Structure 1
Amino acid sequence: RERLNGHYEVGSFVLSHAVSSIPYLIIVSLIPGAVAYLLVGLQRTPQHFAFFATLLFLCMLLVESLMMIVASIVPNYLMGIMTGAGIQGLMILSAGFFRLPHDLPSWFWKYPMYHVAFHKYANQGFYKNEFVGLEFPRTNNAGTTIDGEEILRYVWEMETGYSKWVDLGVLTGMVVVYRAVFWGVLKFGEKIKPILRGGGSAKRATTVDVDACSDGENAV
């Protein structure tokens, strides 16, 4: 409401909105995240949990940013929810865990959806955080082991050429890009709406003037 009334500009609104939501997202990342982390039985080291919580925080920040973009474009509340859920659904379906990357159809699902969906990098970051560095006994050959990186590469078909920190960096960059898009959409709307309203007002004013002139001539 304050932004629409012109109390502060778009950039200040986007920045203040991001800053005000961060503490709540951190709390959600730590408390429910810790419960899920312990119940599942993931690696019990502080550094692994810290990475897990950070990745979860970035995912929630991305979802919030995406929904803010949708809300700034779609005027209707229910339509915005359906549009945002549809976009999320497409990203989840192509992220590589419902269908393995090599099983995804090339057109649209793998190129570009698989590579632009932030769920892909989140999923790979979570798996790398858990599996890299672990060794598991082979079931068909006693005395030998298989490391977690091989499982990621050959079972889950994940990209092991880069570390989990690259996935974290990609998600961080996506947060910046999503917020920049949100700013751009609001800025564009701020510029275009007065033009559209001005055109409508001018048309109405012309109609009123013509009607007034006609009434005056009839009176004479």
Structure 2
Amino acid sequence: MYIALCIAIGTIFFNAGYSYTAITARAACVAFIVAFLTFMSVGSFPSFIEDMKVFTMERQNGHYGVSAFVIGNTLSSSESLMMAIASMVSNFMVGSLIGAGIQGMFILVSGFYRLPDDLPDPVWRYPMFYIAFHPYAFQGMLENDFTGLTFENINGPTFPRVESDYILRELYQVTVSRSKWWNWTILLLMAVGYRTIFYLLIRFSESLLPSIRAWIAMKFRSRRRTAETSKITVRDQESPLKEDS
């Protein structure tokens, strides 16, 4: 599927050119790559669930620890967000829905569907635009594609050509003071952050989660015993009344 999509992207946007309409075509190509191809990671969620099941069994047998699993998984898989979700949600449908919802919100604030300055406050501009990884990927790829290029003016070839700086700053409100390499660095740090969250969630599920479950079960049993005791007391109180009658 990925190969077919890449072939489709390459053939549809092949030789986009330098006309004014090519600006939109190039930006749309970047937006599709950033949005849809990353959204496809939701389809790999079942394999993450299986990885967590295998890790749980291996961990119980004492074969390796959390650190070894996280490092090995990081080297074998580039996806971080869905793996963090898999550590919290073991149900395939629920995890896929949560992952798809998060990815969908990240895509909406990427800067293509609504410009960054037009995103409503306080949620979508601050903090969603800055904590989502799609805006950094989108802006970095736009800088990589448009920097140094000029395009035909919408009024015709006799008018001055449109500079890349104008396209980035005005049309797509790209933070040009942050180079594409800084965007790449931010994405790398986000991946490290997601892996750190993944590690902490596994630690949490091993240490605190069993205690929380035991506390909830104890409270449930206590309430159940209290309810049963109340029923017995009521029956004992009703028995003499029935005998007197």
How far did residue 100 of structure 1 move?
Answer: 1.1
Which residue, out of 101, 119, 127, partners 2:116?
101
What is residue 121 of structure 1 aligned with on the other side? 136
Residues 123/191 of structure 1: CA separation in 2 closer, same or farther (3 Å cut): same
Which residue, out of 152, 163, 171, partners 1:155?
171
Q: Percent identity?
A: 44
What is residue 90 of structure 1 aligned with on the other side? 105
Q: What is the number of equivalent residue pairs in this alignment? A: 162
Name whichever of 154-163 and 130-139 sits farther off.
130-139
Q: How far, CA to CA, are the matches of 2:213 and 2:182 in structure 1? A: 46
Map residues 48-87 of structure 1 onto 2, 5 A cutoff.
61=78, 64-87=79-102
What is residue 183 of structure 1 aligned with on the other side? 199
Pair 1:18-2:74 in alignment = yes
How far did residue 198 of structure 1 move?
Answer: 6.3
Letter of the 1:17 counterpart:
N
Name whichever of 96-105 and 134-143 sits farther off.
134-143
Q: How far, CA to CA, are the matches of 2:128 and 2:178 in structure 1? A: 20
What is residue 145 of structure 2 aligned with on the other side? 130
Matched-pair contact (CA < 8 Å) for 1:10–1:187: yes
Q: How far, CA to CA, are the matches of 1:84 and 1:108 in structure 2? A: 19
Q: How far, CA to CA, are the matches of 2:140 and 2:59 in structure 1? A: 37
The alignment partner of 1:189 has SS state of helix
The alignment partner of 2:97 has SS state of helix
Matched-pair contact (CA < 8 Å) for 1:3–1:13: no
Where does the alignment leave 5 or more consecutive residues of structure 2 unmatched? 1-53, 222-245
Give every structure 1 segment of 4 or more consecutive aligned residues whose post-TM-superposition deviation is greater than 6 Å.
none
Higher Rg of the two aligned structures? 2
The alignment partner of 2:59 has SS state of coil
Residues 197/135 of structure 1: CA separation in 2 closer, same or farther (3 Å cut): closer
Q: How far, CA to CA, are the matches of 1:99 and 1:82 in structure 2? A: 24
C-alpha RMSD of matched pairs (Å): 2.2
Residues 193/106 of structure 1: CA separation in 2 closer, same or farther (3 Å cut): closer
Residues 76/4 of structure 1: CA separation in 2 closer, same or farther (3 Å cut): farther
Letter of the 1:176 counterpart:
V
What is residue 173 of structure 1 aligned with on the other side? 189
Residues 193/109 of structure 1: CA separation in 2 closer, same or farther (3 Å cut): closer
Task: Give the alignment's TM-score, normalised by structure 2.
Answer: 0.61
The alignment partner of 1:112 has SS state of helix
How far did residue 195 of structure 1 move?
Answer: 3.1
Matched-pair contact (CA < 8 Å) for 1:100–1:157: yes
Matched-pair contact (CA < 8 Å) for 1:10–1:183: yes
Letter of the 1:151 counterpart:
I
What is residue 65 of structure 2 aligned with on the other side? 9
Q: How far, CA to CA, are the matches of 2:213 and 2:134 in structure 1? A: 40
Q: How far, CA to CA, are the matches of 2:61 and 2:209 in structure 1? A: 13
Matched-pair contact (CA < 8 Å) for 1:94–1:104: yes
